[in-house]
Amino acid sequence: MLIALLLISRKNMDLSTSQKFTLGYATLVGVGGVMGYMKRGSLMSLGAGGVSSALLYYVYTELPNKPAFASSLGVGVSTMLLGSMGYRFLKTKKVFPAGVVALLSLGMTGGYLHGMLKSQH
């Protein structure tokens, strides 16, 4: 999956900054889900990481064509990840992976909100 994302990104070198961040975010979330499965056998991590990564990849592909829609979907996915991983961080106090993903999701939520506001002007 990571290799496919990297190959696709190399084909289109004129990506916007938001697309680059979204592609990186999707990759990290997907790899994190696989790591959670490999380390603890968590099917929930695998499923949540896979679905979130797939949705974020869709956001990445739609940002140039439908920025308001893509940003709205990005807000939804990143907010859900922020809530779940933020809760896990508060519960366990483990910086990795919960704290890192929560902080990254907070930043991405802000970025997507900015994109929504920018696309309305």
**92 and 98 in contact (C-beta within 8 Å)?**
yes
Q: Which pLDDT score is estimated for 13? A: 64
Q: pTM score, two decimals?
A: 0.86
Q: What are the structure tokens assigned to 104, written together?
A: 């990254």
pLDDT in tens, 12-27: 568 899 999 999 999 9
* Mean pLDDT across the chain: 90
If you average pLDDT over residues 97-115, what whole number do you get?
95
Q: What are the structure tokens assigned to 83, written together?
A: 């809530």
Give CA–CA dist 71/22, Å, rounded. Answer: 10
Read out DSSP for 8-62? HHHH-----HHHHHHHHHHHHHHHHHHHHHHHH--HHHHHHHHHHHHHHHHHHHH
CB-based burial of residue 42 (10 Å sphere; 0-12 exposed, 13-18 middle, 19+ buried)?
A: middle
Higher-pLDDT residue of 69, 120:
69
Higher-pLDDT residue of 97, 82:
82
